[in-house]
Amino acid sequence: MKNTGLSSEEAANLLEKYGRNEITSGQKIRPLEIFISQFKSFLILILFGAAVLAFLAGEKIDTIFILIIIILNSIFGFIQEYRAEKAIAALKSMVVTRVRVIRDNKEVEIDTADLVPGDVFLIEEGQKIPADAKLFEAVNLEVNEASLTGESIPVAKEVSDTEEGDTYSVFMGTIAERGKGKARVLTTGMSTRFGKIASLLSQFLAQYWFSYWE
């Protein structure tokens, strides 16, 4: 693929093909859905049955105790939903919103969401990387990849003709701590490493509560 950037027409066609370069939360958990899902649990149905029997038997204390358990169960569900939404919001905040690219042989600034595979973007010190990309220019470039690996020590980046190897690539959500460079976008949005992490996190938090009592 060329390293001279795309034309506006090419970019528009690729945007339609691959979609916007955004991190989405996937299946969104809603409080009402969480509450209703409790009734699908066999254990909760047993507890409701026990509460009804206790009430009919005049055991008010037992009835209240069982209902408290059910209420606490629902509260825990709301907490899980809140954590899921906060986690995805935190990941989204790590993605840069504007980026400089080469379009129609000119350097222009665009919304990161409009970035597509094949785009050439510029990297400067302190910049968040907007997509997974292959470097073809690098001057003293060091990238902090803690958001992906947890390792806080910056990784030195260089240019190579090979298509494999993290040293020759940069990834969405990481930060250029030093140097500058140019890179060609390989993948965007949820297809990036960062996007896959967000997807797995969202699915885990979304399914955890629904499968907890199964």
In the chain, the percentage of residues whose pLDDT exceeds 70 is: 73
On the question of pLDDT at 117 being above 70, the answer is: yes
Looking at residues 109-120, what average pLDDT do you find? Answer: 94
**pLDDT for the residue numbered 213:** 44
CA distance 68 to 61: 11
Q: Which residue has the higher pLDDT, 137 or 41?
A: 137
CA distance 52 to 67: 10
pLDDT (tens digit per residue) in 167-197: 789 999 899 999 999 999 999 998 999 888 8
Residue pair 75/193 in contact (Cβ under 8 Å)? The answer is no
What residues have CB less than 8 Å from 192, skipping those under 6 apart? Answer: 131, 132, 171, 172, 173
Structure tokens of 17?
A: 């093909």
Please report which helix (H) or strand (E) contains residue 70, including its range: helix 60-92
What residues have CB less than 8 Å from 131, skipping those under 6 apart? Answer: 21, 112, 115, 119, 121, 172, 185, 186, 187, 188, 192
Whole-model pTM: value is 0.67
Helix, strand, or coil here: 95? Answer: coil
**pLDDT for the residue numbered 43:** 76
